[in-house]
């Protein structure tokens, strides 16, 4: 890095890429980059002094390969002109995951991995360290509502990192402690089958030097890692760390050295109590004060697009969630139904990726059937080309919700304007987030 003056990001608007861009911008490097479309996140980066453009144009790339480092993500199409140019014109290039690995070298890395739950858990963990006064730097997969950022910077050597399994990115990390929240089948376009996903998580666990805190029941054993293995759970007293549910979302947090009584997380849902248990387990293993942890959990405001309460008024509730895997949808809808059992739940879902839709169509249908009504949109392709025969219809046909409708993305607002809504939830990882503010405004004005 000593020879670099410029750091150029291809795909700078990605949540992981933008955190690293912010980090090096704060360190005084000249940071710039390309992204396909403007977003609230790219606008925030521009407000911080980072130059961003939205056309695939090599003229924006710094023309000094000798002092320019180019960071890119595997989600970028291989035929992008800017990517092809830097790979063939003498630029030093590095994947985002490798860059995060470089940043964490020689630091006390606390990593959170899992096919779901990792963003809320890592954000909770970074908030615990910060609110307890220890502090940490953090590279998060979502925007913390406590700090309005996906990056925290601290003067100490503790780094909280979200460990992403996509493209085996998390194998660039060698944490001191790690949480593993889940190992469900996902990214089968990368891994092929569930066995290879489990193999990758075991490889990640083998790179942890101190303690692995896994969700109770996950197949990580002493044969997989030399680290100490501890477990956590929501409600299972056989785990080393577990939440004992009380009333109104409160719980006792049991740990090997005692109980933190009458805890509450600042955001609702049993799944967030479980995430809080995992984050608290890392904090307690590190040596943070139990009372401070209790206070930190209560002051946690959540993550944008994770069980994100947008409207809450008599007769109308609107929640937005990033859930894009059947297990995540099931967890989100069960938490929502538990909290609002008497309200009619209308779910809007935008499938993400043709391969994921193909691989989990029946599981999506089962999870989405938990809603009273489903509004299903067309597939958001992201990095993928269409697959013949793979459309939202292969989910829709098996949904057993009382009501269901299949509409195009551009029809959503006009449809919702005529729809009586009691409890609305939007779900998905594509560009469904572009509807959050218009929907919120519409519902608040009713």
Domain ranges of the chain: 6-96, 105-298, 308-444
- Does 405 have pLDDT greater than 80? yes
CATH hierarchy code of domain 308-444: 3.90.190.20
Over residues 49-88, the pLDDT tens digits come to 999 999 999 999 999 999 999 999 888 888 999 999 999 9
Q: How confident is the model at residue 149 (pLDDT cuts 50, 70, 90)?
A: very high
Judge if 105-298 and 308-444 fold alike in CATH terms: no
Task: Give the pLDDT of residue 189.
Answer: 67
Over residues 83-95, the pLDDT tens digits come to 999 999 999 999 9
CATH class, range 105-298: alpha beta
- Does 446 have pLDDT greater than 90? no
Task: Give the pLDDT of residue 2.
Answer: 65
Q: How confident is the model at residue 185 (pLDDT cuts 50, 70, 90)?
A: low
Q: How confident is the model at residue 118 (pLDDT cuts 50, 70, 90)?
A: very high
Task: Give the pLDDT of residue 188.
Answer: 60
Q: What is the mean pLDDT of residues 228-251?
A: 96
Tell me what percent of the residues of the chain surpass a pLDDT of 90: 87
Per the document, the length of the chain is: 446
Residue scoring higher pLDDT (446 or 297):
297
> Hey, what CATH topology would domain 6-96 get?
Rossmann fold (3.40.50)
Over residues 311-370, the pLDDT tens digits come to 999 999 999 999 999 999 998 999 899 889 999 999 999 999 999 999 999 999 999 999
- Does 289 have pLDDT greater than 70? yes
Average pLDDT, the chain: 94
């Amino acid at each position: 890095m000593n020879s670099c003056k410029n750091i150029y990001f291809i795909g700078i608007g990605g949540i992981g890429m933008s955190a690293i861009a912010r980090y090096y911008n704060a360190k005084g490097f000249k940071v710039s980059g390309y992204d396909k479309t403007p977003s609230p996140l790219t606008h925030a980066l521009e407000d911080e002094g980072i130059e961003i453009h939205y056309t695939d144009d090599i003229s924006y790339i710094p023309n000094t390969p000798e002092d320019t480092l180019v960071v890119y993500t595997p989600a970028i199409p291989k035929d992008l002109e800017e990517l092809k140019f830097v790979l063939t014109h003498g630029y030093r290039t590095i994947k985002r995951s490798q860059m995060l690995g470089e940043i964490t070298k020689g630091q006390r890395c606390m990593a959170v991995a899992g096919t779901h739950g990792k963003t809320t858990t890592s954000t909770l963990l970074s908030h615990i360290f910060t609110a307890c006064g220890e502090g940490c730097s953090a590279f998060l997969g979502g925007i913390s509502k406590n700090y309005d950022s996906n990056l925290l910077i601290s003067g100490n050597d503790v780094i909280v990192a979200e460990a992403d399994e996509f493209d085996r990115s998390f194998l660039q990390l060698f944490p001191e402690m790690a949480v593993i929240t889940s190992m469900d089948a996902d990214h089968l376009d990368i891994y092929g089958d569930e066995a290879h996903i489990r193999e990758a998580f075991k490889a990640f666990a083998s790179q942890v030097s101190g303690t692995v805190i896994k969700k109770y029941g996950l197949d990580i054993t002493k044969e997989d890692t030399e680290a100490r293995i501890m477990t956590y759970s929501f409600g299972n007293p056989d785990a080393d760390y577990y939440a004992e549910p009380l009333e109104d979302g409160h719980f006792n947090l049991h740990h090997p050295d005692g109980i933190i009584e009458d805890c509450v997380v600042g955001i609702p849902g049993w799944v967030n109590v479980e995430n809080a248990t995992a984050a608290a387990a890392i904090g307690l293993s590190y040596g943070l004060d139990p009372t401070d942890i209790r206070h930190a959990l209560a002051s946690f405001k959540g993550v944008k697009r994770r069980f994100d309460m947008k409207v809450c008024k008599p007769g109308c509730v609107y929640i937005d969630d990033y859930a894009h895997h059947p297990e995540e949808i099931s967890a989100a809808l069960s938490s929502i139904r538990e909290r609002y059992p008497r309200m009619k739940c209308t779910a809007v879902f935008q499938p993400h990726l043709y391969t994921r839709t193909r691989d989990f169509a029946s599981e999506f249908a089962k999870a989405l059937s938990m809603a009273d009504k489903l509004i299903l949109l067309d597939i958001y392709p992201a990095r993928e080309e269409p697959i013949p025969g793979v459309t939202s219809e292969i989910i829709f046909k098996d949904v057993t919700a009382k009501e269901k409708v299949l509409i195009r993305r551009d029809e959503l607002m006009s449809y919702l304007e005529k729809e009586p809504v009691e409890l609305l939830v939007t779900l998905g990882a594509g560009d469904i987030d572009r509807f959050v503010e218009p929907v919120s405004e519409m519902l608040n004005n009713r």
